[in-house]
Structure 1
Amino acid sequence: MKSKIAEESHVPAVERPYRQIAAAVVGNLIEWYDWYIYSLLAVYFAEQYFPSDSEGSLVPLLAALGVFAVGFFMRPLGSLFLGRLGDRYGRKKALQTTVSLMGVGSLLIGLSPTYAQIGLLAPVILIAARLLQGLSTGGEYGSASAFLVESAPPNRRGFFSSFFYLGATAGNVAAVGSVALLSGILDQAAMESWGWRVPFLIGAAASLCAIWIRRSSVETLTTGEAPSGSPAKSGMFDFVRQHPLQTLQVVGMQLGPSVAFYTWVVFLPTYAQITVGFDRAESIRIGLISLIFFWAVVPICGWASDKVGRKPFLYASSLAFTVGTVPLLGMLSNSFWSLLVVQCAGMAALACFASIASAVQAELFPSRIRVLGIGFPYALTVAIFGGTGPYIATWLIDSGRTSLFSWYIAALSAITFLTFVSMPETARKPLED
């Protein structure tokens, strides 16, 4: 008789789901922690890589943030190359590669010499590290989304899908918390000298933990015989040639949420500060409260979508931003409750979409092109629309046309709503092999 341990070693992924969830969420948390600490710490290390000149003290910071932007341009490329890896050789291999690249990038930044030590080679190393991290982030979404949904029992794909954004948001909070803690312990001089390196080195070490956890997960690619080493036969752009409608649907369904996500999760505190003079410290506290609210709502929406279907939640999210963005942003005032209501209302609408986005997108494509089909149109849409949202908002405010930004979000959300109308209900549809 086989031992219980021997039997468990061959248990299918669906029968031990929480190992799969841990592999996706822990790696995703570390991915987004490493991605965001750069922007939080740039103010401390900018002058060590881009010395200031007589033109102005903001030149080093602008240069460092420019390097941050370079990483966004690499995300579509990462989604292509690492998506190809995930579809041919397995989701595990792609997920281990993404977190490895992110860890190497953080290690390079944490240990890199400064401009005073090696001259122009210092910013070159910094740029190379961010390019690696951009590739990593680009490959993570499609691979982790496919992995989570394929790991789920057929009646729980929405619930499993919700863990993607739980991990990503936890990474954002961990980044803010680590920088806040370190800057509270060390003085300004110590932070600028060496303290800024610590979070990067922590991220690099944590990546090793994520690699180990992901290594112990179970492969979910059922076609292509990935575990035996015989790759699936598919071209890099088969997802466009064979599923053009589904590819466009991924783009359409990301238009509104991409801008709304970066506005409500990242930019809204700043938006409130520059439009109604809201207190900076208080806006950050409200931001943290809204993230906790988001964490609570996301898994509930994912669970409920498995019961009643995906489309009610997709309609609710897109309609909320189509008809609600203008009045919501218009009601902002210099009041704690005003910003809290606006932020939580937006986060509730985002949760309806974010909780099931991975499941809906995974349900559109067959297994052999699922990672590419999800990852590339997502990365391209987020890079073009999501990443530019705060810039467009700031430009419109500066030009005296603040209300146009609300209408911009509403218009994109209307396109997203029409995209959802064109899509079938997929909650009870079997995943295509």
Structure 2
Amino acid sequence: MTSTDHVANGHNKPSGSSARQLAAASIGNAAEWYDWYAYSFLAVYIADQVFPKSASNSLVPLLSTFAVFAVGFFMRPVGGLLMGAVADRHGRRAALTATILLMGAGSLLVALTPTYHAVGVLAPIVLVVARLVQGLSVGGEFAASTTFLVESAGPGRRGLFSSFQYISTTIGQLIASGVAALLVFLLTNDRMNEWGWRVPFLIGALISLVGLWIRRGAHETRPAEQRGGARPGLFEALRRHPRGSLLICGITTGGTIAYYTWTTYLPTFAQVNADFDKGDALVVSTISLAFFALLQPLGGMLSDRIGRKPLLLFFAIGFAALVVPLLDSVTDAFVSLLLVQCAGMVLLTGYTSVAAAVNAEIFPARVRAAGIGFPYSLTVALFGGTAPYVGTWFKEAGHAGGFAWYVAGLCLVSACFYLVLPETAKRPLKG
């Protein structure tokens, strides 16, 4: 039996260096979330050039809406299913190569998107296509990199390796924030509108090329005995492992609403509900994200010692009990938001640091990537991606406090799943 076979079953380290395996899995996550947040930070400049309010064609605002929603709510589950199937049929490296090429292509296409003034309605169509490509890669990247990360870990290290999923995600966010802020600081508003907004996406394409080079040197973790046999069907994981698919949904529901609330919506919540300064909110968000990244390996290593369930229950019960008082305590004071955001990050780490390991430990290797990718991405689309909209809806309906109870309720739903989840930290991965 080769060293790669041992890896897939959790019995040994990969034949390549652990650092190379971690870098290969993490670079795509970092690139993906760099692109995602770069688009968010620079959306106002993109909108002026691609979706101008003065456009006479009625398709323009429609395409603007489609560009925002299509990626988050449609292409992620599709990407999770398709790229997960590629990983299960052709190997994890093949899927990792495909997702990072999609990332680079989508980022480059955004950078080269013509203006509405130059080509008319073709401009928003090009941008929509670019975002659809990126959305496909988002769902596929999680499925492939999660599987690859956990299968690359040696015995007693799956939790630690799992934590790099969110370390790399956070790094991508921080780099995007830094690049956007630096460009806004260095360039005039006219230059930002003219060409500055394109620079981060060119950088994203370059990051993808670096990631492609790193991934080419990574070692395959798919079990060798499965490489020449019958390939799994596209929906085999759903058909043969419905309980596992349901578990993924239940595990993810509370985690994704809490994650998007605390990392994406909380600064907006503070601005809308406590008149918090916008600039200070971005500073608080940056500090808390850096703190969050530092917590991840600690949570992963702790789970390797005491198990996954204690951390998951710490997250779910803690968040359900504290999210209402935490959000109620947000004021317009800098320290107030910082303490609330960091406290939430501590609780959230109970989920994020072990999510990849827990998901991978549910399915056998034959359908692991597709088994994770589709139900996870679908749940994120339903509950995570909609968090800002639901929060805004509660505010507009005159019940701003209702959003916290909504988050608490979903965390309790996940807590029920965590209670019945078998403890898998000390077990070998299913072959």
Is this a same-fold pair by TM over 0.5? yes
* Aligned pairs for 1:354-373 within 5 A: 354-373=352-371
1:7 aligns with none
Residue 68 of structure 1, CA deviation: 2.6
TM-superposition CA deviations, 1:369-402 (whole Å, max 9, x none): 0001111111000001111111111111121101
Rounded Cα–Cα distance in structure 2 between residues aligned with 1:214 and 1:105:
19
Rounded Cα–Cα distance in structure 1 between residues aligned with 2:192 and 2:165:
32
| Pick aligned residue for 1:282 from 273, 280, 283 | 280
Among all aligned residue pairs of Structure 1 and Structure 2, give the percentage whose two residues are the same amino acid: 47
1:267 aligns with 2:268: no
1:255 aligns with 2:253: yes
1:3 aligns with none
Matching residue's letter, 2:71 = G
2:343 aligns with 345
Matching residue's letter, 2:112 = L
2:67 aligns with 67
Distance 1:90 1:335, change over 3 A: same
Rounded Cα–Cα distance in structure 1 between residues aligned with 2:356 and 2:243:
17
Matching residue's letter, 1:326 = V
2:102 aligns with 101
Distance 1:342 1:61, change over 3 A: farther
Consecutive unaligned residues in structure 1, runs of 5 or more: 1-10
1:235 aligns with 233
Matching residue's letter, 1:81 = L
Give yes or no for contact 1:27–1:214 (8 Å, CA) kept in 2: no
Rounded Cα–Cα distance in structure 2 between residues aligned with 1:223 and 1:320:
42
2:4 aligns with none
| Pick aligned residue for 2:415 from 404, 414, 417 | 417
Residue 64 of structure 1, CA deviation: 3.9
Give yes or no for contact 1:42–1:65 (8 Å, CA) kept in 2: no
Residue 54 of structure 1, CA deviation: 8.4
Residue 115 of structure 1, CA deviation: 1.9
2:129 aligns with 128
SS at match of 1:139: helix
SS at match of 2:157: helix
TM-score normalised to the size of structure 2? 0.93
Rounded Cα–Cα distance in structure 2 between residues aligned with 1:81 and 1:261:
25
2:27 aligns with 26
Consecutive unaligned residues in structure 2, runs of 5 or more: 1-11
Residue 360 of structure 1, CA deviation: 0.6
Rounded Cα–Cα distance in structure 2 between residues aligned with 1:382 and 1:237:
19
TM-superposition CA deviations, 1:315-370 (whole Å, max 9, x none): 10000111111111111122222211211111111111100100011000000100
1:8 aligns with none
1:137 aligns with 2:135: no
RMSD, aligned CA: 1.8
Aligned residue pairs: how many?
417
Which moves more between the two structures, 31-40 or 297-306? 31-40
1:184 aligns with 185
TM-superposition CA deviations, 1:285-333 (whole Å, max 9, x none): 1111111211111100100110111111011000011111111111112
Give yes or no for contact 2:15–2:219 (8 Å, CA) kept in 1: no
Residue 63 of structure 1, CA deviation: 5.6
Distance 1:54 1:77, change over 3 A: closer
Which moves more between the two structures, 414-423 or 236-245? 236-245
Which moves more between the two structures, 152-161 or 332-341? 332-341
Rounded Cα–Cα distance in structure 1 between residues aligned with 2:205 and 2:329:
43
TM-superposition CA deviations, 1:140-198 (whole Å, max 9, x none): 11110000000001210000000010001100111111111011111000010111111
Rounded Cα–Cα distance in structure 2 between residues aligned with 1:90 and 1:424:
27
Rounded Cα–Cα distance in structure 2 between residues aligned with 1:54 and 1:124:
14
Rounded Cα–Cα distance in structure 2 between residues aligned with 1:78 and 1:231:
24
Rounded Cα–Cα distance in structure 2 between residues aligned with 1:291 and 1:254:
20
* Aligned pairs for 1:8-47 within 5 A: 13=14, 16-47=17-48
Distance 1:408 1:23, change over 3 A: same
Residue 139 of structure 1, CA deviation: 0.2
1:196 aligns with 197
Rounded Cα–Cα distance in structure 1 between residues aligned with 2:233 and 2:296:
35
Rounded Cα–Cα distance in structure 1 between residues aligned with 2:49 and 2:167:
34
